[in-house]
A and B are shown apart, each in its own frame.
Chain A
Amino acid sequence: IVITQTPLSAPVTLGQPASISCRSSQSLVDSDGRTYLSWLQQRPGQPPRLLIYRVSNRFSGVPDRFSGSGAGTEFTLKISRVEAEDVGVYYCMQTTQFPYTFGQGTKLEIK
C-alpha cells in the first residue's frame, strides 16, 4: 500500500491551525472492520512519537489540539493552534496490511 502525504512542507504561524493529509492507494479498512492508520511526530534528533491511532484516537498524553479524521483512503491530521514545540516531521502510517508503510513525511515549521 502506497501512502501519499501532502503537503511535504507546511510553514505555519504560531497560534494558527495546520492540516496534513494522507491518501492511501487502497482502502485501509481491515477484514475486522477497523482502520489502522496512525500519525507520528518526529522532532529533530528524536525517535518517532505516537500521536493518533486508528484514525482518530488520541494517544495518552497527546494534547487535545491534535486531532485525526478520515475513512477508507483519505485521512487528515489537524493541529488547532500550532505551538513552537510542534516543529518536526509528521508521518502517517498504515498497519492494515503487510508490509506496513509510511507516508513521505510533512515538515512542519514556524513562519
Chain B
Amino acid sequence: QGQLVQSGAEVQKPGASVRVSCKASGYTFIGYYIHWVRQAPGQGLEWMGWINPNSGGTSYAQKFQGRVTMTRDTSINTAYMELSRLRSDDTAVYYCARMYYYDRWFDPWGQGTLVTVSS
C-alpha cells in the first residue's frame, strides 16, 4: 500500500531556509511522482509542486518559483522539499503525497511537518 514518513517540526528565522524530508516505504519509490502541499494554520490546502523520483524532473507552482527546490535520493527512497528566504506567512504544515499518474489521485499522504517561521 505504501507509506510516507516525514521529518520532524522545524522552527526557522525569517530569511532562512528549511528542508523537509519524505521517506517512502512499501512501494517502488521511482514508480510514482511525489507532490508537496502545504496548509497554513486554520487554512486550506495549497499545492506547491512535484518531483519525478525516477528522473529527478520537477515542476513548481509559479508562486514558489525561485524559492522552492525539490530533490530526491533514490538510494534511501527519500524526497526532499527545500524552501528558502522564509517569511512569516510560510508558517504551515507541509505534506508530501504520492500521486498515481494514471488516475492522478494522491495517496498516501505523509503525516505532515510543521514549519514555524519566527524571529
B59 near A53 with CB under 8 A, answer: no
CB distance from A10 to the nearest CB of B (A): 16
CB under 8 Å from chain A, chain B span 94-119: 95, 97, 99, 103-107, 109-112
How many residues does chain B have at the interface if contact means C-beta atoms less than 8 Å apart?
A: 22
| A49:B46 contact, CB within 8 angstroms | no
Task: Judge whether B11 is part of the interface by a CB distance below 8 angstroms.
Answer: no
| Interface size class, chain A | 20 to 34
> What's the Cα separation between A57 and B103 when bound, in Å?
10
Contact of A53 among B45, B47, B62, B104 (CB under 8 A): B104
A50 with B106: CB separation less than 8 A: yes
Interface flags, B56-72, vs A, CB<8A=1, else 0: 00010111000000000
Interface secondary structure of B, over-half rule: strand
Query: Which residues of chain A come closer than 8 Å to B109, judged between CB atoms?
Result: 47-49
Q: Is B44 an interface residue (CB 8 A)?
A: yes
Asked whether B103 lies within 8 Å of A53 as measured between CB atoms, the reply is yes
| Residue contact B45 to A91, C-beta cutoff 8 Å | yes
**Within the assembled complex, what's the spacing in Å between the Cα atoms of A103 and B47?**
12
Which residue, of A40, A47, A102, has the highest number of chain B Cβ atoms within 10 A? A47
| Given known A-B contacts A98-B59, A99-B62, A50 and B44 have beta carbons under 8 A apart | no
Q: How far is the CA of A26 from the CA of B103 in the complex (A)?
A: 20
Interface residues of A (CB under 8 A from B): 36, 38, 40, 47-50, 53-54, 57, 59, 91, 93, 95, 98-105
